[in-house]
Structure 1
């Protein structure tokens, strides 16, 4: 995402615009916002049952649990599955079920009820569901179940050298250290009767290596994992053993991992894992005596270079779809693709799981398009509110000017602290989003000047301080001023109010920001400050929410809302002034 340019002392409300399908783009609001400064609009929320992906139904016994309509026609819980659906009914073992109940998870969510049987079935799975729907436990639970079952088998067969040498491992890839640590904590929270975690989980983040010997679950960022694999083993032997031991691979925040700066690292890891599957297939065929040539040293020796070649060939195939139309090259292109197709035939030995709260499909280079090509047989599980507004979420839209923006921001924060108290814990949590580090610092100074205590969270703050501030916010509540570094993946319980001091720079950021509240069946409020230059965007977003349609076609990781609008000749009229938030004296 390209950051919008701003001067340091200015906090400018984004002059951005969102492209929606034509019916939304040309929507004209019946409200005259020009004369209003603090008028707010709350969207109407209508609960709807969970729906499946267009191209693939759930296809599991949990599909019945994905309908929340009651027998009397009214709508029931939009987060939890039906009372008749239990962890055991989804195929989860008793020990894992008890561990879940011990941490207060007595029933699965709708998304968990849909994805757990699919993952247990062993197929590659794409879980695309709204924020706060329980996706992390949705993949951790079936993997812990599988690994616990494998551990029981290996302990009963200690004489089996292969089981002992290559014990099964789950690999979870996350885009940043904070998400890695969060996944580790969630896995370690599932304990047996003695209070010990069911499985050993370790994180590889930054320069640190494995903190646990022979972990069952490894959680890492892509670059940290690659650095670890190549640093520990220049001769490739241990690296091959680690890759061979990985049976389950999870890509958390898959849309971010498959695009942008993470893409090359992630594709490289996928090809390493796939190549190991090919090598294992060759060894199994050789052991069975089916193919003597497959066991020859020359056939099995093309390792690292072959992986890189696979990556290059797949990139060529993905980006040159029309080259075969040339009559002079059609035969050559077909033969080359046939060769690749034969070369890639092998039995699968690893399971790939992709998890995301936003998964655009509009184009080959989007995360969804990449998954469709690389994993065409994967089963898709979609949440009903993917790319849509959560029915438990209330949104308020407040137009501001240069003169009113500071006062409106302070009032929104102050009123939220008074009215959104969490009665259970006695604390209130408010998140305030800005688009840049400079803007976040300006907001923090404004709130501090108004005697409102706040903590900050952005990339210019050290990891240690960010961790301390996050823990402080989780435990004590208050006001959390942040950039989009805190918009994705962090599971902060009971955030009652999200304020956009600046409007999001992309549709993906917008969905992740509002997804910090109204999580796990809770209610929440989002207050969005906008200016005259944001009116078309606000009108389009409100219209999409009111008619219950997704904003998927507005997704883009390389263009802002404004650029998307300009591309189609619908840009804002030039000359709209930026909004300045003066710093308190």
Structure 2
């Protein structure tokens, strides 16, 4: 079989290079074989919301060999909450709606935390149960949701960093508490008319009382008017969102918007999307009515902001989702500009805002950026952050077995693993590589869709793949599809081109084995990628952070 990407020999010009120069160039290229720049290194991140528990053992499947082994003792997670020691025993029990006598918070396991324990508004609870998690069994928060939701709900509005493995439920971990806070503000603002009548009565009473009593009435009147002014600031306004969610691609914007709209049917709020591909007339029309949440790409939001179509003056909650992408790859300056705008309005209006930074990986550069922009940010991480998913089986394929012919390798793997009921994603490092592979597989009569930067109607293509029909159940893509896109249904990921960093590796394999499901990942290893692949394989086997 002809190799799709034949290995080319050196050109005549290269052969004429002096031996010393060729040797130096060879040494440079050798450094890239598995070399990880410091800015991309992943390190364990200590969570400010602590986990504790007792050791337990169970059988598990080694993800690199598929062999059942006795797992080393690990900690069964139990959650502790900040300042819990300052609460009475009754307050602790009431907080989690538990009626067990003589119990302490140490008796509560992470698995015991429920959505009811967050003390959410009734319409928010209904929105979760009948919206995004309809039919979920069990109907319980994930680990990162159990950790993050109570922290974001706190009234101190402290900045939060929320980091957890792919497919762990981070979207709802920030949407639920933000929407709950917005509805609480509206409920407080709804009491203004009633309090206005009380203030009028106070004004009438002041004139009828003695000077001493009137003075006391004036103090009460002043307090009530200050409170009413505060509540008026929470009233919904046209073209002034109270929450902004930033995402790196229009596909992710549409995905998060769909989750928000599912909840809006029950919680009654308005969420709109802003990207450069949205119809400008339609977006301007939607901004003429009160809007609560804007979900946008940084460029899209700044474009509408600079043209005065949207005003960020009332933003109280700023979410930076997929932070490892947004703080790099050309987005950094735009994200910082949005942060400065929100921060400036916050100082001007003398009211705090809350930033929530969300990511599946936290490279060194992102950590440094967070420390600089949000010095006192609270870090919340899951215990599986930067580790391989336990329910994902890895298969490393040395292309040497196929005479370094990846075309033959991909056909062999698909013949053995793919059928009409499967959903497979195949990742390439470049658009050119993805286009060539798509063309090759189509020539072999495989039901392939190609998704890369200049593909037309990317949202339509992704939706077609999600429908899981036998006519389109293989997606050949670049890293465009590796971040955040919901692919719960995907059961096999193939890394046709091995990624150059661990960050990209985690995002790609994270497209399967999501939400507790089992998945399979196949990695093509070449001479160039062997060193990095071996290091990742060792860390997966030892259940360590991938570095």
| Residue segments in structure 1 that go unaligned for 5+ positions in a row | 1-7, 26-39, 65-80, 234-238, 282-347, 422-426, 553-585
SS of the aligned residue for 2:178 comes to helix
Aligned to 1:373: 372
Taking the aligned partners of 1:375 and 1:548, their CA distance within structure 2 comes to 31
Taking the aligned partners of 2:509 and 2:7, their CA distance within structure 1 comes to 20
Whether the aligned pair in 1 keeps the contact of 2:77 and 2:110 (CA below 8 Å) is no
Whether the aligned pair in 2 keeps the contact of 1:474 and 1:493 (CA below 8 Å) is no
Whether the aligned pair in 1 keeps the contact of 2:166 and 2:360 (CA below 8 Å) is yes
Aligned to 2:520: 525
Deviations 1:194-244 (A, max 9, x none): x556311101111633535221111111111111011136xxxxx6xx322
Map 1:86-97; keep pairs closer than 5 Å: 86-97=114-125
Aligned to 1:440: 434
Aligned to 1:387: 386
SS of the aligned residue for 2:248 comes to coil
Partner residue of 1:473 out of 462, 465, 469: 465
Q: 1:20 to 1:165 in 2, by over 3 A?
A: closer
Cα distance, 1:404 vs structure 2: 3.8
Aligned to 1:326: none
Deviations 1:154-200 (A, max 9, x none): 23325765443658711101111111111110011115xxx556311
1:431 aligns with 2:425: yes
Aligned to 1:228: 304
Partner residue of 2:188 out of 137, 153, 165: 153
1:500 aligns with 2:492: no
Cα distance, 1:258 vs structure 2: 1.7
Taking the aligned partners of 2:6 and 2:385, their CA distance within structure 1 comes to 31
Q: 1:17 to 1:57 in 2, by over 3 A?
A: farther
Aligned to 1:201: 271
The more displaced of 530-539 and 386-395 is: 530-539
SS of the aligned residue for 1:164 comes to coil
Aligned to 1:112: 145
Q: 1:41 to 1:88 in 2, by over 3 A?
A: closer
SS of the aligned residue for 2:316 comes to strand
Whether the aligned pair in 1 keeps the contact of 2:36 and 2:501 (CA below 8 Å) is no
Taking the aligned partners of 1:435 and 1:19, their CA distance within structure 2 comes to 17
Taking the aligned partners of 2:299 and 2:112, their CA distance within structure 1 comes to 43
Whether the aligned pair in 2 keeps the contact of 1:11 and 1:442 (CA below 8 Å) is no
1:540 aligns with 2:535: yes
Q: 1:375 to 1:430 in 2, by over 3 A?
A: same
Taking the aligned partners of 1:491 and 1:140, their CA distance within structure 2 comes to 16
1:350 aligns with 2:353: yes
Map 1:24-173; keep pairs closer than 5 Å: 42=65, 49=75, 59=82, 82-102=110-130, 103-105=134-136, 106-121=139-154, 122-157=157-192, 161-164=232-235, 169-173=242-246
Q: 1:523 to 1:536 in 2, by over 3 A?
A: same
Taking the aligned partners of 1:182 and 1:11, their CA distance within structure 2 comes to 39
Taking the aligned partners of 1:168 and 1:148, their CA distance within structure 2 comes to 14
Cα distance, 1:493 vs structure 2: 1.9
Runs of at least 4 residues off by over 4 Å: 11-16, 43-52, 158-161, 165-168
Cα distance, 1:456 vs structure 2: 0.9
Q: 1:542 to 1:162 in 2, by over 3 A?
A: closer
Cα distance, 1:93 vs structure 2: 2.3
Cα distance, 1:518 vs structure 2: 0.7
SS of the aligned residue for 2:112 comes to coil
Cα distance, 1:534 vs structure 2: 2.5
Q: How many residues align?
A: 420
SS of the aligned residue for 2:467 comes to helix
Whether the aligned pair in 2 keeps the contact of 1:43 and 1:396 (CA below 8 Å) is no
Q: 1:476 to 1:417 in 2, by over 3 A?
A: same
The more displaced of 9-18 and 524-533 is: 9-18
Q: 1:162 to 1:41 in 2, by over 3 A?
A: closer
Deviations 1:429-454 (A, max 9, x none): 10001111111112112221222111
Cα distance, 1:535 vs structure 2: 2.1
| Residue segments in structure 2 that go unaligned for 5+ positions in a row | 9-28, 42-62, 85-91, 94-108, 197-227
Aligned to 1:267: 336
Q: 1:219 to 1:115 in 2, by over 3 A?
A: same
Deviations 1:226-270 (A, max 9, x none): 11011136xxxxx6xx32211111000112212231111111111
Whether the aligned pair in 1 keeps the contact of 2:149 and 2:174 (CA below 8 Å) is yes
Map 1:479-494; keep pairs closer than 5 Å: 479-494=474-489
SS of the aligned residue for 2:528 comes to helix
Q: Give the superposed CA RMSD.
A: 3.2
SS of the aligned residue for 1:533 comes to coil
Aligned to 1:75: none
Taking the aligned partners of 2:181 and 2:82, their CA distance within structure 1 comes to 20
Q: State which structure, 1 or 2, has the greater radius of gyration over its C-alpha atoms.
A: 2
Whether the aligned pair in 1 keeps the contact of 2:185 and 2:234 (CA below 8 Å) is no
Q: TM-score, normalised by structure 1?
A: 0.66
Larger RCO, structures 1/2 (Cα 8 Å, 6+ apart): 1
Taking the aligned partners of 1:535 and 1:107, their CA distance within structure 2 comes to 41
Deviations 1:57-80 (A, max 9, x none): 86487x99xxxxxxxxxxxxxxxx
Whether the aligned pair in 2 keeps the contact of 1:413 and 1:430 (CA below 8 Å) is no
Whether the aligned pair in 1 keeps the contact of 2:120 and 2:180 (CA below 8 Å) is yes
SS of the aligned residue for 1:480 comes to strand
Q: TM-score, normalised by structure 2?
A: 0.70
Taking the aligned partners of 2:372 and 2:76, their CA distance within structure 1 comes to 26
SS of the aligned residue for 2:455 comes to coil
Cα distance, 1:19 vs structure 2: 3.5
Cα distance, 1:49 vs structure 2: 4.9
Cα distance, 1:524 vs structure 2: 0.6
Aligned to 2:450: 456
Whether the aligned pair in 1 keeps the contact of 2:425 and 2:476 (CA below 8 Å) is yes
Taking the aligned partners of 1:255 and 1:101, their CA distance within structure 2 comes to 31
Deviations 1:321-362 (A, max 9, x none): xxxxxxxxxxxxxxxxxxxxxxxxxxx51000000001113x
